[in-house]
């Protein structure tokens, strides 16, 4: 005796795993903090010209430039920070024009700072020029660090 059974067909769909974006809030906080630190360093430089030759200050600003450039290049992909990240990347990776005529960029000067004599490094020379003309051009320079 044969019995027939009705087979129900089961259709199984697998849900694609969702990507958890945990790094984005840290990236945003890091970007904002690094811009704030760099802006504060420039404000200190404009008020105290002798900081351009201070070894501790030069090391700190070299590290802050590297971190800010990295975070800005990562933050370009965030809608909120597209324009400010692009402006900061351009400012840090382009040789400066008049009155701060330089042959190298701030990023290159920061990356090569440890290989040079700190008192006569490219970064020190750039910051000396910033300190000289800082009172006249501080608004234009600090405009780069606005997050709007």
Task: Write out the chain's pLDDT in tens, 148 residues.
Answer: 555 566 666 666 666 665 545 555 566 667 888 888 888 888 888 888 888 888 999 999 999 999 889 888 888 877 877 888 888 888 888 887 766 777 888 899 999 998 988 888 998 888 888 888 766 766 777 777 775 4
Q: What angle do CA 111, 64, 51 make, to 5 degrees?
A: 95
Cβ(68)–Cβ(32) below 8 Å = no
- Which candidate, 45, 56, 147, places its Cα nearest to that of 100? 45
pTM: 0.75
């Amino acid at each position: 005796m044969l019995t027939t059974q009705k087979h129900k067909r089961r259709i199984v769909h697998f849900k694609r795993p969702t990507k958890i974006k945990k790094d984005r809030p840290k990236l945003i906080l890091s970007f904002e903090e690094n811009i704030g630190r760099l802006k504060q360093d420039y404000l200190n430089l404009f008020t105290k010209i002798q900081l351009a030759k201070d070894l501790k200050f030069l090391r700190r600003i070299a590290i802050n430039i590297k971190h800010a450039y990295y975070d800005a290049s990562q933050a370009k992909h965030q809608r909120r920070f597209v324009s400010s990240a692009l402006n900061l990347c351009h400012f840090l990776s382009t040789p400066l024009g008049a009155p701060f005529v330089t042959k190298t960029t701030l990023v290159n000067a920061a990356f090569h700072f440890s290989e040079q004599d700190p008192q006569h490094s490219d970064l020190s020379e750039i910051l000396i020029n910033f300190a000289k003309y800082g009172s006249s051009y501080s608004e234009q320079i600090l405009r780069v660090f606005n997050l709007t």
